[in-house]
Amino acid sequence: MDTRGGTLMVFDTTASQVTSSLTMPPVLDAQGKPEKIEYREIVVDKANNRLYLPAMSYHDSKLQVVNLDTLTVERTIPLQLRCHRHLDGFGRRQAVCLQP
């Protein structure tokens, strides 16, 4: 997953190459403009062949569910989280997500 560009890539580890990809739909703000998002903590559901991608932004975040059989976004679920980045006391970047 290109976490900043929003492209999901299927990688064949035997051939060491990308076999297909899916550009994720943009996350829109309240005015309908695309937001800068980052994908973090991707979860694979092997039993249902789904991938869960939290699309985190500063204003609104969503969970995008990808069907791995068809490599399509099945649905987008609003999370109602706002995330902010800051430096901790050791100079490391941290993300804090809060419910409004």
Q: 51 with 44: CB under 8 angstroms? A: yes
Query: What is the residue-averaged pLDDT of the chain?
Result: 76
pLDDT band at 31 (very low <50, low <70, confident <90, very high): confident
CA 7: distance to chain centroid? 9
pLDDT band at 40 (very low <50, low <70, confident <90, very high): confident
* Distance in angstroms (rounded) separating the CA atoms of residues 18 and 80: 33
pLDDT band at 90 (very low <50, low <70, confident <90, very high): low
Q: 50 with 70: CB under 8 angstroms? A: no
Radius of gyration of the chain (CA): 15
* Distance in angstroms (rounded) separating the CA atoms of residues 48 and 36: 29
- Record the pTM: 0.68
